[in-house]
Protein backbone atom coordinates (compact mmCIF):
# COMPACT_ATOMS: atom_id res chain seq x y z
CA UNK A 1 0.00 0.00 0.00
CA UNK A 2 1.09 3.57 -0.68
CA UNK A 3 0.74 6.11 2.10
CA UNK A 4 -0.11 9.52 0.74
CA UNK A 5 -1.77 11.58 3.43
CA UNK A 6 -2.23 11.86 7.16
CA UNK A 7 -5.29 12.83 9.14
CA UNK A 8 -6.46 12.54 12.76
CA UNK A 9 -9.68 11.12 14.15
CA UNK A 10 -12.22 8.50 13.20
CA UNK A 11 -12.39 5.75 15.71
CA UNK A 12 -14.87 7.38 18.04
CA UNK A 13 -18.03 6.26 16.18
CA UNK A 14 -17.23 2.66 17.01
CA UNK A 15 -16.81 3.21 20.71
CA UNK A 16 -20.49 3.94 20.89
CA UNK A 17 -22.06 1.22 19.06
CA UNK A 18 -22.25 -1.41 21.48
CA UNK A 19 -23.44 0.79 24.17
CA UNK A 20 -19.89 0.05 24.87
CA UNK A 21 -18.05 1.91 27.46
CA UNK A 22 -16.26 4.63 25.67
CA UNK A 23 -14.81 7.31 27.85
CA UNK A 24 -11.96 9.70 27.55
CA UNK A 25 -9.12 9.92 29.96
CA UNK A 26 -5.48 9.29 29.62
CA UNK A 27 -1.90 9.66 30.46
CA UNK A 28 -0.03 12.43 28.82
CA UNK A 29 3.48 13.69 28.56
CA UNK A 30 5.43 14.73 31.65
CA UNK A 31 6.08 18.31 32.42
CA UNK A 32 4.56 21.17 34.34
CA UNK A 33 0.99 22.35 34.36
CA UNK A 34 0.34 25.75 32.79
CA UNK A 35 0.43 27.37 36.22
CA UNK A 36 3.92 25.98 36.86
CA UNK A 37 2.94 23.20 39.25
CA UNK A 38 4.30 19.70 38.78
CA UNK A 39 1.99 17.59 36.62
CA UNK A 40 2.75 14.13 38.03
CA UNK A 41 0.06 14.42 40.68
CA UNK A 42 -2.47 15.35 38.01
CA UNK A 43 -1.81 12.40 35.73
CA UNK A 44 -4.48 9.73 36.23
CA UNK A 45 -3.49 6.29 37.33
CA UNK A 46 -3.86 3.68 34.58
CA UNK A 47 -6.30 1.71 36.72
CA UNK A 48 -8.24 4.74 37.96
CA UNK A 49 -9.80 7.92 36.77
CA UNK A 50 -7.66 10.57 38.43
CA UNK A 51 -8.05 12.53 41.63
CA UNK A 52 -10.54 15.18 40.56
CA UNK A 53 -13.59 13.39 39.15
CA UNK A 54 -16.02 16.24 39.79
CA UNK A 55 -13.96 18.70 37.78
CA UNK A 56 -14.38 16.55 34.71
CA UNK A 57 -18.11 16.91 34.21
CA UNK A 58 -19.19 18.74 31.04
CA UNK A 59 -19.37 22.45 31.61
CA UNK A 60 -22.93 23.58 30.95
CA UNK A 61 -22.29 27.23 31.70
CA UNK A 62 -22.86 29.77 29.02
CA UNK A 63 -25.57 27.98 27.06
CA UNK A 64 -29.02 26.57 27.69
CA UNK A 65 -29.29 23.43 25.59
CA UNK A 66 -31.72 21.45 27.71
CA UNK A 67 -34.55 22.09 25.25
CA UNK A 68 -35.41 19.80 22.40
CA UNK A 69 -33.98 21.64 19.37
CA UNK A 70 -30.31 20.72 19.31
CA UNK A 71 -29.54 20.84 15.59
CA UNK A 72 -28.32 24.43 15.27
CA UNK A 73 -27.83 25.60 11.70
CA UNK A 74 -24.60 27.35 12.53
CA UNK A 75 -23.30 29.57 9.73
CA UNK A 76 -19.86 28.85 8.32
CA UNK A 77 -17.02 30.42 10.24
CA UNK A 78 -16.49 33.69 8.41
CA UNK A 79 -13.71 35.22 10.42
CA UNK A 80 -10.06 34.27 10.55
CA UNK A 81 -7.95 35.48 13.43
CA UNK A 82 -4.38 35.62 12.22
CA UNK A 83 -1.81 34.10 14.58
CA UNK A 84 -0.12 37.44 15.24
CA UNK A 85 -3.50 38.99 16.04
CA UNK A 86 -4.37 36.56 18.82
CA UNK A 87 -4.30 38.25 22.20
CA UNK A 88 -1.69 36.76 24.55
CA UNK A 89 -4.34 36.00 27.17
CA UNK A 90 -6.43 34.14 24.55
CA UNK A 91 -3.50 32.00 23.48
CA UNK A 92 -2.63 31.30 27.11
CA UNK A 93 -6.15 30.03 27.76
CA UNK A 94 -6.05 27.85 24.61
CA UNK A 95 -2.72 26.40 25.71
CA UNK A 96 -4.17 25.64 29.13
CA UNK A 97 -7.19 24.00 27.52
CA UNK A 98 -4.94 21.78 25.39
CA UNK A 99 -2.92 20.82 28.44
CA UNK A 100 -5.96 19.75 30.46
CA UNK A 101 -7.49 17.93 27.50
CA UNK A 102 -4.28 15.95 26.97
CA UNK A 103 -4.16 15.18 30.67
CA UNK A 104 -7.65 13.67 30.89
CA UNK A 105 -9.44 16.68 32.36
CA UNK A 106 -11.89 17.63 29.60
CA UNK A 107 -14.20 19.45 32.01
CA UNK A 108 -11.44 21.85 33.04
CA UNK A 109 -10.31 22.06 29.41
CA UNK A 110 -13.81 23.07 28.29
CA UNK A 111 -13.84 25.95 30.78
CA UNK A 112 -10.50 27.26 29.51
CA UNK A 113 -11.54 27.06 25.86
CA UNK A 114 -14.87 28.74 26.65
CA UNK A 115 -13.02 31.56 28.42
CA UNK A 116 -10.89 31.98 25.31
CA UNK A 117 -14.05 32.05 23.15
CA UNK A 118 -15.52 34.77 25.37
CA UNK A 119 -12.49 36.95 24.58
CA UNK A 120 -12.21 35.93 20.91
CA UNK A 121 -15.56 34.50 19.69
CA UNK A 122 -14.24 33.67 16.21
CA UNK A 123 -11.01 31.98 17.24
CA UNK A 124 -11.18 28.55 15.62
CA UNK A 125 -8.85 26.86 18.10
CA UNK A 126 -11.06 28.03 20.98
CA UNK A 127 -14.25 26.94 19.16
CA UNK A 128 -12.93 23.49 18.25
CA UNK A 129 -11.14 22.94 21.55
CA UNK A 130 -14.35 23.66 23.47
CA UNK A 131 -16.35 21.34 21.19
CA UNK A 132 -13.83 18.51 21.53
CA UNK A 133 -13.72 18.91 25.31
CA UNK A 134 -17.51 18.84 25.67
CA UNK A 135 -17.60 15.77 23.45
CA UNK A 136 -15.01 13.86 25.48
CA UNK A 137 -16.70 14.87 28.75
CA UNK A 138 -20.06 13.61 27.53
CA UNK A 139 -18.48 10.32 26.41
CA UNK A 140 -17.02 9.79 29.84
CA UNK A 141 -20.31 10.44 31.56
CA UNK A 142 -22.11 8.13 29.14
CA UNK A 143 -19.74 5.31 30.05
CA UNK A 144 -20.53 5.87 33.73
CA UNK A 145 -24.28 5.78 33.09
CA UNK A 146 -23.98 2.47 31.26
CA UNK A 147 -22.65 0.87 34.45
CA UNK A 148 -25.51 2.11 36.64
CA UNK A 149 -27.54 -1.14 36.65
CA UNK A 150 -24.78 -2.83 38.62
CA UNK A 151 -25.44 -0.36 41.44
CA UNK A 152 -28.76 -2.09 42.14
CA UNK A 153 -27.21 -5.50 42.76
CA UNK A 154 -27.66 -5.34 46.53
CA UNK A 155 -30.85 -3.29 46.64
CA UNK A 156 -33.73 -5.22 48.21
CA UNK A 157 -36.58 -3.42 46.48
CA UNK A 158 -40.16 -3.85 47.56
CA UNK A 159 -43.19 -3.66 45.32
CA UNK A 160 -43.25 -0.59 43.12
CA UNK A 161 -45.92 2.07 43.08
CA UNK A 162 -47.42 3.79 40.07
CA UNK A 163 -49.74 6.46 41.42
CA UNK A 164 -47.72 8.37 43.99
CA UNK A 165 -45.44 10.97 42.36
CA UNK A 166 -43.25 10.85 45.46
CA UNK A 167 -42.50 7.14 45.06
CA UNK A 168 -38.92 6.01 44.70
CA UNK A 169 -39.65 4.67 41.21
CA UNK A 170 -41.18 7.92 39.95
CA UNK A 171 -38.28 9.92 41.31
CA UNK A 172 -35.88 7.53 39.60
CA UNK A 173 -37.73 7.92 36.28
CA UNK A 174 -37.27 11.67 36.35
CA UNK A 175 -33.64 11.35 37.38
CA UNK A 176 -32.94 8.94 34.51
CA UNK A 177 -34.58 11.36 32.09
CA UNK A 178 -32.52 14.25 33.42
CA UNK A 179 -29.34 12.19 33.09
CA UNK A 180 -30.00 11.55 29.40
CA UNK A 181 -30.85 15.22 28.84
CA UNK A 182 -27.61 16.22 30.57
CA UNK A 183 -25.59 13.82 28.44
CA UNK A 184 -27.33 15.15 25.34
CA UNK A 185 -26.48 18.68 26.36
CA UNK A 186 -22.76 17.90 26.28
CA UNK A 187 -23.01 16.44 22.78
CA UNK A 188 -25.21 19.37 21.70
CA UNK A 189 -22.56 21.84 22.85
CA UNK A 190 -20.01 19.86 20.85
CA UNK A 191 -22.28 19.97 17.80
CA UNK A 192 -22.37 23.77 17.89
CA UNK A 193 -18.58 23.95 17.74
CA UNK A 194 -18.05 21.22 15.15
CA UNK A 195 -20.61 22.78 12.79
CA UNK A 196 -18.90 26.16 13.07
CA UNK A 197 -15.63 24.85 11.59
CA UNK A 198 -15.87 24.97 7.79
CA UNK A 199 -12.48 26.14 6.45
CA UNK A 200 -10.49 23.69 4.37
CA UNK A 201 -7.26 25.02 5.91
CA UNK A 202 -8.30 24.36 9.51
CA UNK A 203 -5.58 22.85 11.72
CA UNK A 204 -5.62 22.16 15.45
CA UNK A 205 -2.41 20.86 17.03
CA UNK A 206 -2.46 19.01 20.34
CA UNK A 207 -0.13 16.61 22.08
CA UNK A 208 -2.75 13.93 22.40
CA UNK A 209 -6.39 13.09 23.11
CA UNK A 210 -6.64 9.81 25.03
CA UNK A 211 -9.72 7.65 24.55
CA UNK A 212 -10.52 5.15 27.29
CA UNK A 213 -12.62 1.99 27.36
CA UNK A 214 -13.42 1.20 30.98
CA UNK A 215 -10.25 2.13 32.90
CA UNK A 216 -7.66 1.49 30.21
CA UNK A 217 -6.72 3.49 27.14
CA UNK A 218 -7.93 2.31 23.77
CA UNK A 219 -6.50 5.08 21.58
CA UNK A 220 -4.27 8.07 22.11
CA UNK A 221 -4.67 10.35 19.12
CA UNK A 222 -1.77 12.75 18.85
CA UNK A 223 -1.00 15.58 16.46
CA UNK A 224 -3.05 17.58 13.98
CA UNK A 225 -6.81 17.73 13.54
CA UNK A 226 -8.03 19.05 10.19
CA UNK A 227 -11.43 19.61 8.57
CA UNK A 228 -11.81 15.92 7.66
CA UNK A 229 -11.32 15.01 11.30
CA UNK A 230 -13.86 17.65 12.38
CA UNK A 231 -16.48 16.09 10.10
CA UNK A 232 -15.68 12.58 11.37
CA UNK A 233 -16.01 13.83 14.93
CA UNK A 234 -19.29 15.53 14.01
CA UNK A 235 -20.58 12.21 12.65
CA UNK A 236 -19.68 10.38 15.82
CA UNK A 237 -21.18 13.17 17.91
CA UNK A 238 -24.43 13.01 15.90
CA UNK A 239 -24.64 9.28 16.60
CA UNK A 240 -24.40 9.92 20.33
CA UNK A 241 -27.03 12.65 20.06
CA UNK A 242 -29.37 10.15 18.38
CA UNK A 243 -28.64 7.58 21.09
CA UNK A 244 -29.25 9.94 24.02
CA UNK A 245 -32.31 11.53 22.38
CA UNK A 246 -33.87 8.15 21.65
CA UNK A 247 -33.52 7.19 25.32
CA UNK A 248 -34.49 10.62 26.66
CA UNK A 249 -37.69 10.43 24.59
CA UNK A 250 -38.85 7.25 26.35
CA UNK A 251 -41.15 7.17 29.33
CA UNK A 252 -39.53 4.87 31.91
CA UNK A 253 -42.43 4.76 34.38
CA UNK A 254 -42.46 1.24 35.78
CA UNK A 255 -41.28 -0.73 38.79
CA UNK A 256 -37.64 -0.14 37.87
CA UNK A 257 -36.11 -0.84 41.26
CA UNK A 258 -37.77 -4.20 41.79
CA UNK A 259 -36.99 -5.23 38.21
CA UNK A 260 -33.34 -4.25 38.55
CA UNK A 261 -33.02 -6.16 41.80
CA UNK A 262 -34.80 -9.21 40.39
CA UNK A 263 -32.65 -9.08 37.28
CA UNK A 264 -29.40 -9.02 39.22
CA UNK A 265 -30.57 -11.86 41.44
CA UNK A 266 -31.66 -13.90 38.40
CA UNK A 267 -28.32 -13.35 36.69
CA UNK A 268 -26.51 -14.82 39.68
CA UNK A 269 -28.74 -17.89 39.52
CA UNK A 270 -28.57 -18.25 35.72
CA UNK A 271 -30.96 -16.64 33.27
CA UNK A 272 -33.28 -18.54 30.97
CA UNK A 273 -35.66 -17.21 28.35
CA UNK A 274 -38.75 -17.13 30.52
CA UNK A 275 -37.01 -15.39 33.40
CA UNK A 276 -36.03 -12.63 30.99
CA UNK A 277 -39.53 -12.49 29.51
CA UNK A 278 -41.03 -12.38 32.98
CA UNK A 279 -38.83 -9.43 33.99
CA UNK A 280 -39.53 -7.50 30.79
CA UNK A 281 -43.21 -8.43 30.91
CA UNK A 282 -43.60 -7.06 34.41
CA UNK A 283 -41.87 -3.82 33.40
CA UNK A 284 -44.35 -3.43 30.56
CA UNK A 285 -47.34 -4.46 32.67
CA UNK A 286 -46.45 -2.37 35.73
CA UNK A 287 -47.25 0.85 33.91
CA UNK A 288 -48.86 1.36 30.52
CA UNK A 289 -46.57 4.34 29.93
CA UNK A 290 -43.38 2.25 30.01
CA UNK A 291 -41.40 2.66 26.76
CA UNK A 292 -43.96 4.94 25.19
CA UNK A 293 -42.94 8.48 24.25
CA UNK A 294 -42.92 11.00 27.08
CA UNK A 295 -46.01 13.17 26.91
CA UNK A 296 -44.09 16.40 27.55
CA UNK A 297 -41.19 16.23 25.11
CA UNK A 298 -40.99 12.70 23.69
CA UNK A 299 -42.06 13.56 20.14
CA UNK A 300 -39.62 16.46 19.85
CA UNK A 301 -36.75 14.35 21.17
CA UNK A 302 -37.65 11.49 18.83
CA UNK A 303 -37.75 13.89 15.85
CA UNK A 304 -34.38 15.37 16.76
CA UNK A 305 -32.90 11.88 17.14
CA UNK A 306 -34.09 10.75 13.70
CA UNK A 307 -32.45 13.80 12.12
CA UNK A 308 -29.23 13.14 13.98
CA UNK A 309 -29.25 9.54 12.74
CA UNK A 310 -29.07 10.92 9.20
CA UNK A 311 -26.47 13.50 10.25
CA UNK A 312 -24.22 10.77 11.61
CA UNK A 313 -23.95 9.06 8.24
CA UNK A 314 -23.75 12.32 6.26
CA UNK A 315 -20.83 13.61 8.32
CA UNK A 316 -19.01 10.28 8.11
CA UNK A 317 -19.33 10.30 4.32
CA UNK A 318 -18.18 13.91 4.13
CA UNK A 319 -15.22 13.17 6.38
CA UNK A 320 -14.09 10.25 4.22
CA UNK A 321 -14.42 12.40 1.09
CA UNK A 322 -12.33 15.14 2.69
CA UNK A 323 -9.65 12.62 3.66
CA UNK A 324 -9.20 11.83 -0.02
CA UNK A 325 -9.44 15.47 -1.08
CA UNK A 326 -6.68 16.43 1.32
CA UNK A 327 -4.54 13.39 0.51
CA UNK A 328 -2.03 15.35 -1.53
CA UNK A 329 -0.98 17.28 1.56
CA UNK A 330 1.59 15.19 3.33
CA UNK A 331 2.24 16.38 6.85
CA UNK A 332 4.16 14.79 9.67
CA UNK A 333 2.91 14.30 13.19
CA UNK A 334 -0.68 13.20 12.58
CA UNK A 335 -2.35 10.25 14.24
CA UNK A 336 -4.20 8.66 11.30
CA UNK A 337 -2.89 8.17 7.78
CA UNK A 338 -5.01 7.46 4.74
CA UNK A 339 -3.74 4.94 2.21
CA UNK A 340 -5.26 2.86 -0.56
CA UNK A 341 -5.37 -0.90 -0.89
CA UNK A 342 -6.60 -1.34 -4.43
CA UNK A 343 -9.82 0.68 -4.50
CA UNK A 344 -10.33 0.58 -0.73
CA UNK A 345 -9.69 3.67 1.35
CA UNK A 346 -7.62 2.55 4.34
CA UNK A 347 -7.19 4.55 7.53
CA UNK A 348 -4.06 3.68 9.47
CA UNK A 349 -4.26 4.56 13.16
CA UNK A 350 -0.72 4.65 14.44
CA UNK A 351 -1.43 4.66 18.15
CA UNK A 352 -4.07 2.15 19.12
CA UNK A 353 -3.27 1.00 22.65
CA UNK A 354 -3.08 -2.71 23.43
CA UNK A 355 -5.46 -3.36 26.34
CA UNK A 356 -3.15 -5.83 28.09
CA UNK A 357 0.32 -4.37 27.50
CA UNK A 358 -0.59 -0.66 27.02
CA UNK A 359 1.74 -0.61 24.02
CA UNK A 360 0.76 1.54 21.06
CA UNK A 361 0.36 -0.37 17.81
CA UNK A 362 -0.91 0.60 14.34
CA UNK A 363 -4.41 -0.31 13.21
CA UNK A 364 -5.83 -0.38 9.66
CA UNK A 365 -9.50 0.19 8.85
CA UNK A 366 -10.65 -0.20 5.25
CA UNK A 367 -13.72 1.28 3.58
CA UNK A 368 -14.61 -0.32 0.27
CA UNK A 369 -16.05 1.84 -2.52
CA UNK A 370 -19.16 -0.37 -2.49
CA UNK A 371 -19.75 0.37 1.19
CA UNK A 372 -19.26 4.10 0.64
CA UNK A 373 -21.62 4.25 -2.35
CA UNK A 374 -24.33 2.17 -0.68
CA UNK A 375 -24.09 4.38 2.40
CA UNK A 376 -24.65 7.48 0.28
CA UNK A 377 -27.72 5.90 -1.33
CA UNK A 378 -29.11 4.94 2.07
CA UNK A 379 -28.76 8.50 3.37
CA UNK A 380 -31.06 9.74 0.63
CA UNK A 381 -33.63 6.98 1.10
CA UNK A 382 -33.78 7.43 4.88
CA UNK A 383 -35.32 10.86 4.41
CA UNK A 384 -38.19 9.79 2.10
CA UNK A 385 -41.42 8.46 3.69
CA UNK A 386 -42.68 5.45 1.77
CA UNK A 387 -39.21 4.54 0.52
CA UNK A 388 -38.65 0.99 1.78
CA UNK A 389 -35.08 -0.31 1.73
CA UNK A 390 -34.41 -4.05 2.05
CA UNK A 391 -32.26 -5.23 4.93
CA UNK A 392 -29.22 -5.58 2.65
CA UNK A 393 -29.41 -1.90 1.65
CA UNK A 394 -30.30 -0.51 5.07
CA UNK A 395 -29.59 -2.02 8.51
CA UNK A 396 -26.94 -4.35 7.06
CA UNK A 397 -24.89 -1.31 6.04
CA UNK A 398 -25.33 0.42 9.38
CA UNK A 399 -24.72 -2.65 11.54
CA UNK A 400 -21.89 -3.89 9.35
CA UNK A 401 -20.06 -0.57 9.58
CA UNK A 402 -20.48 -0.29 13.33
CA UNK A 403 -19.59 -3.92 14.07
CA UNK A 404 -16.61 -3.69 11.73
CA UNK A 405 -15.31 -0.60 13.48
CA UNK A 406 -15.89 -2.20 16.87
CA UNK A 407 -14.07 -5.36 15.77
CA UNK A 408 -11.07 -3.36 14.53
CA UNK A 409 -10.99 -1.42 17.79
CA UNK A 410 -11.28 -4.67 19.75
CA UNK A 411 -14.09 -3.36 21.97
CA UNK A 412 -16.52 -6.23 21.37
CA UNK A 413 -15.13 -8.01 24.41
CA UNK A 414 -16.73 -5.34 26.58
CA UNK A 415 -20.24 -6.06 25.30
CA UNK A 416 -22.67 -7.39 27.91
CA UNK A 417 -23.95 -10.07 25.48
CA UNK A 418 -22.26 -12.45 23.11
CA UNK A 419 -22.59 -11.98 19.35
CA UNK A 420 -23.15 -15.33 17.59
CA UNK A 421 -21.01 -14.15 14.65
CA UNK A 422 -17.23 -14.09 14.75
CA UNK A 423 -16.30 -10.77 13.14
CA UNK A 424 -12.83 -10.48 14.66
CA UNK A 425 -10.29 -9.38 12.08
CA UNK A 426 -12.94 -8.29 9.57
CA UNK A 427 -13.25 -4.84 8.01
CA UNK A 428 -16.56 -2.90 7.97
CA UNK A 429 -17.26 -3.81 4.34
CA UNK A 430 -16.56 -7.49 5.03
CA UNK A 431 -18.92 -7.54 8.02
CA UNK A 432 -21.59 -5.89 5.88
CA UNK A 433 -21.14 -8.54 3.19
CA UNK A 434 -21.39 -11.27 5.83
CA UNK A 435 -24.67 -9.84 7.12
CA UNK A 436 -26.07 -9.57 3.60
CA UNK A 437 -25.20 -13.23 2.93
CA UNK A 438 -26.66 -14.43 6.23
CA UNK A 439 -29.92 -12.49 6.35
CA UNK A 440 -32.54 -12.54 3.61
CA UNK A 441 -34.35 -9.53 2.23
CA UNK A 442 -37.73 -10.86 3.32
CA UNK A 443 -38.00 -7.68 5.41
CA UNK A 444 -37.60 -4.03 4.50
CA UNK A 445 -37.44 -0.81 6.50
CA UNK A 446 -39.08 2.56 5.95
CA UNK A 447 -37.03 5.10 7.89
CA UNK A 448 -38.93 8.09 6.52
CA UNK A 449 -42.32 6.81 7.63
CA UNK A 450 -40.98 6.03 11.11
CA UNK A 451 -39.61 9.59 11.30
CA UNK A 452 -43.06 10.95 10.39
CA UNK A 453 -44.79 8.75 13.00
CA UNK A 454 -42.78 9.10 16.24
CA UNK A 455 -43.20 6.15 18.56
CA UNK A 456 -41.80 4.68 21.73
CA UNK A 457 -39.66 1.55 21.86
CA UNK A 458 -42.70 -0.32 23.19
CA UNK A 459 -43.93 -0.54 19.56
CA UNK A 460 -40.99 -2.80 18.67
CA UNK A 461 -41.61 -5.16 21.58
CA UNK A 462 -44.06 -8.05 21.21
CA UNK A 463 -46.83 -8.62 23.71
CA UNK A 464 -45.48 -10.99 26.32
CA UNK A 465 -47.67 -12.12 29.19
CA UNK A 466 -51.13 -13.64 28.87
CA UNK A 467 -51.56 -13.54 32.65
CA UNK A 468 -50.21 -11.03 35.19
CA UNK A 469 -48.36 -13.78 37.08
CA UNK A 470 -47.03 -16.27 34.50
CA UNK A 471 -46.16 -19.71 35.83
CA UNK A 472 -44.78 -21.25 32.63
CA UNK A 473 -44.46 -21.01 28.82
CA UNK A 474 -48.23 -21.33 28.28
CA UNK A 475 -48.74 -17.99 30.05
CA UNK A 476 -46.74 -16.08 27.42
CA UNK A 477 -47.78 -15.04 23.92
CA UNK A 478 -45.40 -17.51 22.26
CA UNK A 479 -46.12 -20.68 20.31
CA UNK A 480 -43.83 -23.10 18.46
CA UNK A 481 -44.08 -25.66 15.65
CA UNK A 482 -42.18 -28.54 17.25
CA UNK A 483 -44.96 -30.33 19.18
CA UNK A 484 -42.75 -33.28 20.09
CA UNK A 485 -40.43 -31.01 22.10
CA UNK A 486 -43.01 -28.70 23.60
CA UNK A 487 -45.34 -31.48 24.77
CA UNK A 488 -43.42 -31.92 28.03
CA UNK A 489 -42.71 -28.45 29.44
CA UNK A 490 -44.45 -26.24 26.88
CA UNK A 491 -41.14 -24.89 25.60
CA UNK A 492 -38.51 -26.21 23.15
CA UNK A 493 -34.98 -27.17 24.14
CA UNK A 494 -32.56 -24.96 22.17
CA UNK A 495 -31.28 -21.47 23.03
CA UNK A 496 -32.53 -21.56 26.64
CA UNK A 497 -36.05 -22.48 25.57
CA UNK A 498 -36.35 -20.05 22.68
CA UNK A 499 -35.82 -22.34 19.66
CA UNK A 500 -36.74 -25.84 18.53
CA UNK A 501 -33.66 -28.03 18.20
CA UNK A 502 -32.31 -29.14 14.82
CA UNK A 503 -33.41 -32.71 15.60
CA UNK A 504 -37.04 -31.79 16.26
CA UNK A 505 -39.80 -32.49 13.76
CA UNK A 506 -41.39 -29.21 12.64
CA UNK A 507 -45.13 -29.15 11.89
CA UNK A 508 -46.70 -26.17 10.13
CA UNK A 509 -49.66 -25.09 12.25
CA UNK A 510 -52.11 -22.27 13.02
CA UNK A 511 -51.49 -20.25 16.16
CA UNK A 512 -53.36 -18.55 19.00
CA UNK A 513 -56.70 -20.15 18.16
CA UNK A 514 -59.67 -18.62 19.97
CA UNK A 515 -57.85 -15.34 20.67
CA UNK A 516 -57.94 -11.96 18.92
CA UNK A 517 -54.51 -12.85 17.47
CA UNK A 518 -55.42 -15.97 15.48
CA UNK A 519 -53.00 -16.87 12.67
CA UNK A 520 -53.56 -19.45 9.96
CA UNK A 521 -50.78 -21.87 9.07
CA UNK A 522 -48.37 -20.00 6.81
CA UNK A 523 -46.87 -22.91 4.88
CA UNK A 524 -43.44 -22.46 6.45
CA UNK A 525 -42.54 -24.74 9.39
CA UNK A 526 -40.25 -22.71 11.62
CA UNK A 527 -38.12 -23.39 14.73
CA UNK A 528 -38.69 -19.83 15.97
CA UNK A 529 -41.53 -18.80 18.26
CA UNK A 530 -44.59 -17.08 16.82
CA UNK A 531 -45.14 -13.73 18.56
CA UNK A 532 -47.82 -11.07 18.85
CA UNK A 533 -47.43 -7.34 18.23
CA UNK A 534 -50.12 -4.72 18.68
CA UNK A 535 -48.74 -3.09 15.53
CA UNK A 536 -46.99 -5.63 13.27
CA UNK A 537 -45.63 -2.80 11.10
CA UNK A 538 -43.79 -1.21 14.03
CA UNK A 539 -45.36 2.19 13.36
CA UNK A 540 -44.73 1.85 9.64
CA UNK A 541 -41.04 0.97 10.01
CA UNK A 542 -41.34 -2.72 9.06
CA UNK A 543 -42.42 -3.94 5.62
CA UNK A 544 -42.34 -7.52 4.29
CA UNK A 545 -41.93 -9.16 0.92
CA UNK A 546 -45.35 -10.57 0.08
CA UNK A 547 -43.89 -13.34 -2.14
CA UNK A 548 -44.47 -16.27 0.20
CA UNK A 549 -44.16 -19.11 0.60
CA UNK A 550 -41.28 -18.87 0.10
CA UNK A 551 -40.41 -15.22 0.66
CA UNK A 552 -37.01 -13.69 0.07
CA UNK A 553 -36.53 -15.03 -3.48
CA UNK A 554 -36.24 -12.79 -6.51
CA UNK A 555 -36.85 -9.05 -6.30
CA UNK A 556 -38.85 -8.30 -3.16
CA UNK A 557 -42.12 -6.39 -3.30
CA UNK A 558 -42.73 -4.88 0.10
CA UNK A 559 -46.11 -4.36 1.72
CA UNK A 560 -47.31 -3.40 5.20
CA UNK A 561 -47.63 -6.68 7.13
CA UNK A 562 -50.39 -8.18 9.17
CA UNK A 563 -49.47 -10.31 12.18
CA UNK A 564 -49.02 -13.55 10.23
CA UNK A 565 -46.92 -11.94 7.48
CA UNK A 566 -44.69 -10.22 10.02
CA UNK A 567 -43.94 -13.50 11.78
CA UNK A 568 -43.22 -15.41 8.57
CA UNK A 569 -41.01 -12.67 7.14
CA UNK A 570 -38.99 -12.35 10.35
CA UNK A 571 -38.58 -16.13 10.58
CA UNK A 572 -37.21 -16.25 7.03
CA UNK A 573 -34.98 -13.26 7.71
CA UNK A 574 -33.44 -14.95 10.75
CA UNK A 575 -33.20 -18.42 9.20
CA UNK A 576 -29.39 -18.56 8.96
CA UNK A 577 -28.87 -17.07 12.42
CA UNK A 578 -31.17 -19.69 13.91
CA UNK A 579 -28.80 -22.40 12.69
CA UNK A 580 -25.99 -20.84 14.73
CA UNK A 581 -28.12 -20.71 17.88
CA UNK A 582 -29.64 -24.19 17.80
Exposure string of 552-569, with b = 16+ CB inside 10 Å and e = fewer, is beeebebebbebbbbbbb
Residues 393 and 299 in one domain: no
Question: Residue 387 sits in which domain range?
Answer: 379-582
CA pair distance 183, 140, nearest whole angstrom: 10
Phi-psi region of 28 (alpha: psi -120 to 50; beta: other; left: phi over 0): beta
In a domain, 336, yes or no: no
Residues 305 and 386 in one domain: no
Residues 156 and 25 in one domain: yes
Residues 300 and 405 in one domain: no
Residues 47 and 145 in one domain: yes
- The DSSP line for 477-518 is S-B-S-HHHHHHHSS-SBGGGTB--TTSPP----BSTTSTT-
pLDDT in tens, the chain (582 residues): 433 333 323 333 333 333 332 322 333 333 334 443 333 322 233 233 333 333 333 333 333 333 334 333 433 444 444 444 568 999 999 999 999 998 888 899 999 999 999 999 999 999 999 999 999 889 878 877 765 554 444 444 444 444 455 677 788 888 889 999 999 999 999 999 999 999 999 999 988 887 776 666 666 777 788 898 899 899 999 999 999 999 999 999 988 777 777 777 666 666 667 777 888 888 888 889 999 999 999 999 999 999 999 999 999 889 888 887 876 555 556 656 677 888 888 877 667 667 677 777 777 888 889 999 999 999 999 999 999 999 999 999 999 998 888 888 776 665 555 677 788 888 999 999 999 999 989 999 999 999 999 999 999 999 988 888 888 888 889 999 999 999 988 999 998 888 999 999 999 999 999 999 999 999 999 999 999 999 999 999 999 998 765 554 567 889 999 999 999 999 999 988 888 888
* 405 closest CA partner among 360, 349, 355: 349
Torsion sign (Cα): 153, 159, 160, 164:
negative
Question: How many structural domains is the chain composed of?
Answer: 2
In a domain, 350, yes or no: no
CA pair distance 384, 403, nearest whole angstrom: 26
In a domain, 334, yes or no: no
pLDDT digits (tens, 9 = 90+) for 56-106: 333 333 333 333 343 334 334 444 444 445 689 999 999 999 999 988 888
CA pair distance 505, 108, nearest whole angstrom: 64
Alpha helix (H) ranges present in 18-120? Answer: 88-102, 106-119
Residues 404 and 520 in one domain: yes
* 459 closest CA partner among 259, 277, 251: 251
* 573 closest CA partner among 544, 549, 546: 544
In a domain, 335, yes or no: no
CA 186 to chain centre: 16
Model pTM score: 0.79
In a domain, 244, yes or no: yes
Amino acid sequence: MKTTRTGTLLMLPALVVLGSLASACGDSAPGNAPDGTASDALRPDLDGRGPDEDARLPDASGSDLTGVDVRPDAPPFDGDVLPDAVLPEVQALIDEGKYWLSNAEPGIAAKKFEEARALAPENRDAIFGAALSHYVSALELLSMVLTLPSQFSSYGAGSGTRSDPESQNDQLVEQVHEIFLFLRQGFAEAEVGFSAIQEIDFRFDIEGVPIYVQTRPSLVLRGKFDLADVRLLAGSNAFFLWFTELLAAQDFHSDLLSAAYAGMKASDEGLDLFTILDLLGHLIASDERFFTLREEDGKELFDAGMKHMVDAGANLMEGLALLEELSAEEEAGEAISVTWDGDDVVLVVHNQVDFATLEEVPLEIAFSPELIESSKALLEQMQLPGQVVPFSAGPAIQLGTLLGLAARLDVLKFMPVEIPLDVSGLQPGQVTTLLVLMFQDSVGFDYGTLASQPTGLRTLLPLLMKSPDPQGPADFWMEWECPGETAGTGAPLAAKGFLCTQESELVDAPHFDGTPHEMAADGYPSPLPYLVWEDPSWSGFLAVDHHFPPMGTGDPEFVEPDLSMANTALHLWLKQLVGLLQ
